Amino acid sequence: MSLVKVNDEVSLYVEDTRKGTGGKPTIVFIHGWPSHGMFEYQFMQLQKKGYRCIGMDLRGFGRSDKPWYGEYTYDTFADDIEDVMTALDLHGVTLVGFSMGGAIAMHHAAKYLSSGRISKVIFMGAAAPCFTKREDFPYGLDKSDCDSLIAQSLNDRAKMVHDFIKIFFRSEDSQSQETRNWLFAINMQASPYATVKCLEELRDADLRDDMRKISERKLPVAIFHGVNDKICPFDLANVMNRGIEGSRLVRFENSGHGLNIEEKEKANDELIKFVDLEVPKQTGK
C-alpha cells in the first residue's frame, strides 16, 4: 500500500498489487458509498492471472484522509483519481466503478478521456447516470429516499448502515452474517461528514451529459448489474446500455447490489473477458 497526496493536501490510501505479468493490463477499482476496499475477491484472482490491480479509498472513506472541509462531489473525486493515476504513471487502464464509484468513473471518463489514461470502463451496479428520479427521468430512487438516509445518518448512522446492508444483497439471508458484519465494519469507517455530503451528491447529480460524451467518443464500456438490485434498480443499467453506443450489458441474475460478492466467479470471468477484449481506437474529439 501507499499514500498518494492529491489536491488540498489530502492523502489517499492506495492498494497496488504492482506490476502485472505477460503484458496484462492494469485495472483500477473505485468503491461505492459508504464503503472501501470491497474488491478483495477480484484482487486475489486477478493478480494471480497477471493483472495489476489498484484500488484507492476515496477521500472521506476507509483509510484515506477525511477532511471536514472542501467538496465531496463527483468532480472532486474525478480530480483525485486523475492525480493518483498521474502519480503512478498509469496509461491504458480499465476503470471499474461500483455503485457511487460507477457514477464517479462515468464523470472521470468524460472529463479526462483525452488524457489517454483510460482505455475501457466497467460500470458495476452503478448509481448512474442519475441515482434519483426527476421529471424527465423516471428511474432510480425517489429523492425523498436520499433525504431519509441523510436524516438517519445525522440521527443514528450505525442504524442507517445496518438497515442499508439489509437491502444490499439479493435477500437478507443470501450472505453469511460474517459477511454482513464485515460490510458493516468497513462502511462505519467512513467519515460522518463524507457520508452525508455524498448522499447529497447522489441525490442531486445528473450525469447524462457525461454519458453522451462517453458514447460519442466510442469508449468501450461494459455494464455489470444485478437483476435484483434494490439500491440501484436494474432500469439504470438499461438506461446506460441504451445511452452508450456499443456498450455491453451483463445481467447478474442471482445478485442484488453486491454482485461482485454474490456472483464473484462470474464477475471475475466477465471482467477478464472484457479487459482482454481487443477494441478499436477511440474516435471523435
CA distance 165 to 20: 34
* Cis bond upstream, residue 34 (ω within 30): yes
Note the pLDDT tens digit of each residue in 62-81. Answer: 999 999 998 999 999 999 99
> Which pLDDT value is given to residue 217?
94
Structural domain contains residue 282: no
Structural domain contains residue 24: yes
Is-contact 164 184, C-beta < 8 A? no
Question: Beta-strand (E) ranges in 21-76?
Answer: 26-30, 52-56
Structural domain contains residue 284: no
Note the pLDDT tens digit of each residue in 19-61. Answer: 766 678 999 999 999 999 888 889 989 998 999 999 999 999 9
Exposure string over 73-106, b if 16+ CB within 10 A, otherwise e: bbebbbbbbbbbbeebebeebbbbbbbbbbbbbb
Structural domain contains residue 251: yes
Helix residue ranges per DSSP H, the chain: 40-48, 74-87, 100-112, 143-166, 177-188, 192-204, 208-216, 234-243, 259-262, 264-275
From edge to edge, which strands make up the β-sheet containing 221-226? 2-5, 11-16, 52-56, 26-30, 93-98, 118-124, 221-226, 248-252
> Which pLDDT value is given to residue 281?
53
Structural domain contains residue 91: yes
Please report how the helices 208-216 and 234-243 are oriented relative to each other, as an axis angle in degrees rounded to 10. Answer: 40
> Which pLDDT value is given to residue 41?
85
> Which pLDDT value is given to residue 284?
42
- Report the CATH number at residue 7: 3.40.50.1820
CA distance 285 to 283: 7
DSSP string, 78-144: HHHHHHHHHHTT--SEEEEEETHHHHHHHHHHHHHGGGS-EEEEEEES---S-SB-BTTB--SB-HH
Please count the structural domains in the chain. Answer: 1
Is-contact 55 29, C-beta < 8 A? yes
- CA quadruple 103, 36, 151, 259: dihedral sign: positive
Active site residues: 99, 229, 257
- The residue with cell 439500491 is 231
Range of the domain at 182: 2-275
> Which pLDDT value is given to residue 20?
66
> pLDDT below 50 — which residues of the chain?
282-285
Structural domain contains residue 280: no
Structural domain contains residue 285: no
Set of cell numbers at residue 127: 448509481
